[in-house]
Amino acid sequence: MYECKHCHIKVRGNVKCCPLCQGELTGTAEQNIFPIIELQPPLSQKMFRIGLFITLIAVAICVGINLSRPQDGWWILFVLAGSGCFWFSIGIAMKKWHNVPKNILWQVIILSVLAYFWDIKTGYRGWSLEYVLPFLCIGAIIGTCLLAYFLKLHTSEYILYLILDGILAVIPLILLLKHKLNVLYPSAICVSISIILFGGLFLFRRDLFFSEIQRRTHL
């Protein structure tokens, strides 16, 4: 049995140092009395790896088809870029799964940036700003409110992310005022929902609304 000269305790099992002071132990080792538990990776990681492997198979098949028919153009580049964007978004979602409102906010930002990038690289037709951005903001506001209700979240757990969702929803208003959009109704709906959101927070959660702003801005 091991013994610690500093803590004057006896330690059973085969350990390297004292559990109290982390000092050196003297004596002889014993058979470990604690069972060895093999940690299994969570199901989400297994599903992530399976999905990633299936995507790899699909990409490999597309590479083979594209190499055999180069006259059709190198469309495999779009497949690779699309797969990368998809799994990047999934990876962020899995990393921040414990905070659903924050996860939603991150997804809005990531998907908006990726959509704008794709729009530019494919000749820019404006669909990223006219459709994707406003509908993502609308979905984020409504989704956060519904999840907060069904998950019974405390107001302080989601109000900051709801405010940030509302601020992002103001971007379509700026684009409307700058006459940068050809299709107006998605952005108009988005701005209306943002106004309703801030009006509701001001009328029904005024104290928490301003206290959260003061706490985050250190005013």
Q: Rounded CA gap, 116 and 206, in Å?
A: 35
pLDDT number for residue 201: 83
The answer to whether residues 71 and 65 touch, using CB atoms and an 8 Å cutoff, is no
Q: Which amino acid is at 61?
A: I
Q: How many Å apart are CA 156 and CA 94, to the nearest integer?
A: 23
Residue 215 φ/ψ region, left for φ over 0, alpha for ψ in the -120 to 50 degree band, beta for the rest: alpha
How far apart (Å, rounded) are the C-alpha atoms in residues 142 and 140?
6
Q: What are phi and psi of 10, to 5 degrees?
A: -105, 140
Amino acid at residue number 196: I
| HSE-up (13 A, CA, CB side) for residue 67 | 6
The token duo for 126 is 């404006």
pLDDT score, position 123: 87
User: Is 136 exposed, middle or buried, given 0-12, 13-18 or 19+ CB atoms closer than 10 A?
Assistant: buried
Q: What is the pLDDT along the chain (219 residues), one digit of tens a residue?
A: 778 877 777 777 777 777 777 777 777 766 666 566 565 556 567 788 888 899 999 999 999 999 898 888 888 888 888 888 888 888 887 777 778 888 899 999 999 998 998 899 888 899 999 999 999 999 999 999 898 888 888 877 888 888 889 989 889 989 988 888 888 999 999 999 999 988 888 888 777 777 766 766 554
Decide: pTM greater than 0.85.
no
